[in-house]
Amino acid sequence: MRRLPVALLSGVALLGALATPATALEAGVVSRARFPNGLTLLVRENPTAPVVAVSLAVRMGTRWETRETAGISNFLQLMVVRGTTSRSGTQIVEDADRLGGKIDAIGDQDWSQIEATALSRHRVALLELVADVALRPSIPDGLVEPIKQFLLRQIRNRAEQPYPVAFDTLMHSLFGLHPYAWHPLGSRESVERIDRPALLAHYRRHYVPSGMVLAVSGRVRAPAVIAEVERLFGAMPAGQSPPASKVSPPAAAVSREVREVPGAQAQILIGALAPPLTHPDYPAVKVLSTVLGGGMAGRFFTELRDKQALAYSTGALYPSLAGTGYVVTQLGTAPENLRRAEPSLKKELDRIREEPPSAEELRVAKAYLLGHFAMDRRTNARQAWYLATFELAGVGHEFLDRYVAAVRDVTPADVQRVARTYLGTVRESVARPPAR
Amino acid sequence: MTKHLLSLLALVAWLGGCAAQGALKPSSADEAGLPLPFRQVLPNGMRLIIQDHRAADVVAVYLFVGVGGRDEGPNELGFSHFQEHMLFKGTDTQGPGFVDREVEGVGGRSNANTSLDYTFYYLVVPTQEMPNAIRILADMAFRSKFDPAELSREGDVILEEGRIEIDNPRTALVRGLYGLVFRDHPYGRPILGTRETLKAATRENVLAYYKRHYVPENVTLVVVGPVAPGSVNAAVRETFGRSPATGHRRAPVPGARPLSGGIRREVERPEQQAYLALGWLAPRADDSDGFAVDMLASILGGTESSRLARKLRDQDRLVSSITMSYAALVGGGIVSVRAELEAGDLDKVERLILEEIARVQESGVTEEERQIAVTHFEAEHAFDTETAEGLAYAYGIAETTWSLEEELRYVERIRQVTREQIRDVARRYLSRTDYARLAFVPRSKERR
C-alpha cells in the first residue's frame, strides 16, 4: 500500500493537538503483577492483530524538574534509546526495524515513557530490547552534544510557530515557577547546561522499579509475559522514587500577552487553572471542555467557525494531569479577524458561565467524549499507554471505568458550576504576525 | 478459505443481478486471522466492500469518490476540496452541521479528505449505527444542497485552511515538490485552489461539478466492523442503491512530462530551520515496478535504520530527520526525499543523498536490507488490521487507485521482490540529474 503523505491531503480536521484527550475501558482482561523490587507490570491480551505494544512509564518528567534543569527528562529519554552497554544507537533502531516495529522515548509532564511495538511473533525480542534500553543505557558521550543541538533547534523552531508560542506564553503566565510552566523540551538556557554527568544522575534517581510501570498489550499470553519480565527486570535493585516539585502555581488573575510571530495565521489562546485528574470536578470539567471545543458539534466549531467563519482551527484542551492542570481554549484565524475573533471567543466563555448547556448539548458532548475515548483505546500502542500512564499516576487503570461512569452522571448544572469555578478569571495569550 | 468463498457465492446469488468481481485471494489480512472481504458492484455501478472485523464494537464506513485535484479544469481549481467541505453543510432535508450532530451524538467521529485522485469521507460509529452512517453518507453524496450563504462562508474557511498550510513548512514543502515534479500536470496544481478560483465559485458551477462526479459509478463504499454482509447490503440498497446509473466514465489522467535536465527552486521563509525535498517521477499505481520501488524507498529512507538515516542523521549528523517515500498515483508516481537541516548544509546533503542513490544503483542492496524492508511492509499491514478504519482506508484507496485484489496480495508480492529488481528500479527511476529540488531557506537577513 502506498499512501500519499498526510501533508497532501486536505481535510476539515480540527487542530489535532486540541482534540480533547480521551480516556474508558473496553472489554479485555488486564493482568497485573508487582515484583518484589517494586516494578508493576500490566498485560492486556488482545488477539485482534498479530502485533504487540509495550509502554514503560517512569515517574520522571517536568514535575520533577526545576527551572534550572528544565528539559532534562526528555533529554535523558532521547539518550536512552541511543545506546546501551551492548548496542549502539544504530543497532537499536535496526533491531526495532527487524522486529517490524519501532522504539521511541519521550519525557512529558507527569511521566516519561519508552514506547515500542513489533510483530507479535517477536514479542520476546521486543521485551529484551526495551529492557536493554531501560536498564543498561550507556548515554554515549559523543552523542550528548549532537542531541543537545537537536533539542536546541527544536526549541528554536517552537519559538517560530504561532500556536506553540501562544501556548508556551500562556503556560508561563498560568504556572509561574511551577514546572508545568515549561514545555518538556525545556529552555535554551537549561538545555545548554545539561551534560552527561547530569543525565546519568537523573537516570539513577528516576529509573527505580518502584517508580516504573511496564504495560504490554497485544497478541500475547499474560503468564508468558510475566515470566519474561521477571527474567529481564527481576534483578533490578529496589529504590525510592524521588518526590515531585512542591511549588504551587500563582493565584488566578487576569492577564493578556501578545507575541509577534511571522506567519499567516494569528492564534488566540484563553486559559485558566483547572483541577487535577484525581479531583471530583475532573469529569465535569472534561464535559465542559467538550461542550465548548469538542469536535465539530461543540460550541466553538458551530459558532465561531460554522456561523461566523472566524476560524479554521478551534478547540478546547483539558489534559489529564496529576497536579493542578489547565483548560485552554483556542482559535486560529486570519490576522485581520483578530479584533472580531477575540471578543467572540470570550463571549462563548461568558455564555457557558451564564447559561448551562441544554440537555441535548450535554448528551452530544458526553457521547463525543466517551466515544472518542473508547475509540482512542483500540490500538495496542494506545492501550499500553493508557495502562502505564494511569497506573503510574497512582489511580490505577481501573480509574478509567470510574471516570466513564462519572462522566455519565454530569448534569448541566455541574457544567455551569465548574465553568463558574474555573473560567471566571482567565488569562489570554495572542500570537500574531508583525504589522506590515 | 472455502467457507468464505461459499458465503461469497451465496451472497452473489442472493443479490441477484449484481456483478460480483470474483473470489478474492488469500491476503495479508487473512494472515492476521481475518476473513476475506466481500467486494460487489451494485446494479447502478457503485462498488461496495465489506470486511468482517471484530476487534471492537465499532464500524468504519468510508466513502471514496473518484474525484480530486486531477479532475479540475483551470477555472475549477480547488472545487473537489470545496465539495468536500460543502457536503457537511446540509442536504435537501437537513441543515448544516447535521453530520456532526448525528455522528458525534452517538459518540462517533467523522471527517473527510481530498487528494489528487480521490476524495473520501468517513464515519466511525458504534456498530448499531451502521445503517444510519450509510444513510448519512448517501445523503451527503447525492442530496447535498449547496446553500449559497453556506458556500460563501465556507470559502472563507478554506482560505483560512490555506493559511495554515502556508504556516506549516512540512505541508508547504510537499505541496511545493508536487508542483515541481508534476509541473504542467493536474497533479501539480493546488488542491485547495487559488484565491481567484474560490472567489469565482458560484453555486451553479460548484453544483454542476458535484452532479458530474458524485454518481454511483464513481463511488466506493467500504464498511468494516462486526457486521453481516446482508445487513450492510440492505442498508446500501435502500440508500445509495436508489440512485440510478448515469453512464459516467472518469476522464483518464494524462502522463507526466519527464523532468529532463532537472528543476531547482529555493524559497525564503521565516523559519531558521531549512528544509530540503528532492523528487523523481516514479511508476504509476498499476505498474508492477511499484513493489520494487516501495522496497527501494524503504531501504533508502523508509525506516529508522535506513541508509539515508544512518548516513546523514546518525553518522554525519547533517540532518535532524530524513525520509524517502513513494506515492503511487493513478497517472504517475513520485519518489520523494525530505530532510530537515541547517541551511548551510543544503548542498552537501543533496550531494550525499545522490551518492547513496548511486551506491544502490552500482552495488544493489543486501539480503538483510531486503528482509528488513519486507518486515516493514508486513508490519505496516499488520498494524492496519488493529482498527476498522485502518483497513477501510487501505481498501478504499486500493479500490479507487489500483486494485483491492492487489492490496490483499500486497505482502505476498513484496516478498517476491528480488535484490536485482530493487537495484534495477533505482537505475530506472532515480536519475542523478533529472529530478526536482526544492529548498526552504531562512530569509537572508535571518541567516546566521
Q: Please give the full DSSP string across A250-267, using - where no structure is assigned.
A: PPP--EEEEEE--SS-EE
Among the listed residues B162, B52, B411, the one whose alpha carbon sits nearest the alpha carbon of residue A334:
B162
Touching B: A residues 23-82, CB under 8 Å: 26, 47-51
Among the listed residues A155, A194, A212, A168, the one whose alpha carbon sits nearest the alpha carbon of residue A65:
A194
- Is there a contact between A1 and B394 if contact means CB atoms under 8 Å apart? yes
8 A C-beta contact, residue B79 and residue B193:
yes
As given in the structure block, the three cell numbers for residue B14 are: 442472493
The residues near A40 (Cβ < 8 Å, ≥ 6 apart) are: A32, A33, A34, A212, A213, A214, A391
- Is there a contact between B320 and A150 if contact means CB atoms under 8 Å apart? yes
- Is there a contact between B114 and A118 if contact means CB atoms under 8 Å apart? no
Print burial letters for A48-79: b (CB count within 10 Å at least 16), e (below 16): bbbbbbbbbbbbbbbbbbeeebbbbbbbbbbb
The residues near B95 (Cβ < 8 Å, ≥ 6 apart) are: none
What is the distance in angstroms between the Cα of A384 and the nearest Cα belonging to chain B? 14
Q: Which residues of B touch A146 (CB under 8 A)?
A: 317
- Is there a contact between B97 and A368 if contact means CB atoms under 8 Å apart? no
Strand order in the sheet with A212-218: A30-34, A40-45, A212-218, A51-58, A112-119, A102-107
Among the listed residues A326, A316, A230, A201, the one whose alpha carbon sits nearest the alpha carbon of residue A276:
A326
Q: What percent of chain A has pLDDT over 70?
A: 93
8 A C-beta contact, residue B140 and residue B119:
no
Strands B47-52 and B219-225: parallel
Q: Is the pLDDT of residue A347 over 90?
A: yes
Q: Is the pLDDT of residue A246 over 60?
A: yes
Around B124, how many Cα atoms within 13 Å sit in the side-chain half-sphere? 21
Which run of H or E residues covers position A80? helix A72-80
- Is there a contact between B106 and A146 if contact means CB atoms under 8 Å apart? no
* A11 near B CB under 8 A: yes
Q: Which residue of chain B is at minimal alpha-carbon distance from A27?
A: B56
Question: How far apart (Å, rounded) are the C-alpha atoms in residues B270 and B445?
Answer: 10
Q: Residue A114: pLDDT band by 50, 70, 90 thresholds?
A: very high
Question: How far apart (Å, rounded) are the C-alpha atoms in residues B404 and B393?
Answer: 11
Instruction: Tell me the torsion sign for CA atoms A6, A10, A12, A18.
Output: positive
Burial of B257 (0-12, 13-18, 19+ CB in 10 A): middle
The residues near A214 (Cβ < 8 Å, ≥ 6 apart) are: A39, A40, A41, A42, A54, A55, A56, A57, A130, A229, A233, A388
A40 phi, psi to nearest 5 deg:
-105, 135
Report the residue from B100, B317, B397 with minimal CB separation from A297.
B100
Touching A: B residues 262-301, CB under 8 Å: 270-273, 285, 290, 294
Q: What is the pLDDT of residue A389?
A: 95
Q: Which residue of chain A is at minimal alpha-carbon distance from B328?
A: A2
8 A C-beta contact, residue B92 and residue B81:
no
Report the residue from B153, B273, B394 with minimal CB separation from A157.
B273
Q: What is the pLDDT of residue B10?
A: 28
Q: Which residues of B touch A358 (CB under 8 A)?
A: none
- Is there a contact between A118 and B379 if contact means CB atoms under 8 Å apart? yes
Mean pLDDT of the region A319-342? 93
CATH code 3.30.830.10 for A255-432: yes
3-state helix, strand, coil in chain B (%, to 5): 50, 20, 30
What are the start and end residues of each CATH 3.30.830.10 domain in chain A?
Answer: 7-233, 255-432
- In A120-249, which ranges are E strands? 212-218
- Is there a contact between A48 and B126 if contact means CB atoms under 8 Å apart? no
As given in the structure block, the three cell numbers for residue A172 are: 508561563
Task: For chain B, 448 residues long, give each residue's pLDDT as a single digit of tens.
Answer: 222 322 332 232 223 333 333 334 444 444 567 899 999 999 999 999 999 998 888 999 999 999 999 999 999 999 999 999 999 999 999 988 899 889 988 989 999 999 999 999 999 999 999 999 999 999 999 999 999 988 988 888 888 778 777 778 999 999 999 999 999 999 999 999 999 999 889 999 999 999 999 999 999 999 999 999 999 999 999 999 999 999 999 999 999 999 999 999 999 998 889 999 999 999 999 999 999 999 999 999 999 999 999 999 999 999 999 999 999 999 999 999 999 999 999 999 999 999 999 999 999 999 999 999 999 999 999 999 999 999 999 999 999 999 999 999 999 999 999 999 999 999 999 999 999 999 999 987 554 4
Among the listed residues B80, B94, B36, the one whose alpha carbon sits nearest the alpha carbon of residue B187:
B80
Give a three-class secondary structure readout of B359-388: HHHHHCCCHHHHHHHHHHHHHHHHHHCCCH
- Is there a contact between B112 and A11 if contact means CB atoms under 8 Å apart? yes
Give pLDDT tens digits for A350-384.
999 999 999 999 999 999 999 988 888 889 999 99
Q: Is the pLDDT of residue A15 over 60?
A: no
Give pLDDT tens digits for A379-427.
999 999 999 999 999 999 889 889 999 999 999 999 999 999 999 999 9
Which run of H or E residues covers position A344? helix A338-354
Question: How far apart (Å, rounded) are the C-alpha atoms in residues A63 and B121?
Answer: 41
Question: How far apart (Å, rounded) are the C-alpha atoms in residues A277 and B295?
Answer: 46
CA distances from B215 to A188, B108, B218, B220, B243 (A): 56, 26, 5, 10, 8
Q: What is the pLDDT of residue A350?
A: 95
As given in the structure block, the three cell numbers for residue B95 are: 441543515
Class of domain A7-233: alpha beta
CA distances from A122 to A128, A234, B29 (A): 10, 21, 19
What is the distance in angstroms between the Cα of A368 and the nearest Cα belonging to chain B? 4
Q: Which residue of chain A is at minimal alpha-carbon distance from B285?
A: A2
Q: How many residues does chain A have?
A: 436
Q: What is the pLDDT of residue B11?
A: 30
The pTM for the full model equals 0.88
As given in the structure block, the three cell numbers for residue B447 are: 541567516
Q: Which residue of chain A is at minimal alpha-carbon distance from B384?
A: A49
* B28 near A CB under 8 A: no
Report the residue from B166, B304, B328 with minimal CB separation from A96.
B304
Touching A: B residues 7-26, CB under 8 Å: none
Interface test with A, best of B178, B304, B321 (most A CBs within 10 A): B304
Among the listed residues B395, B417, B415, the one whose alpha carbon sits nearest the alpha carbon of residue B406:
B395
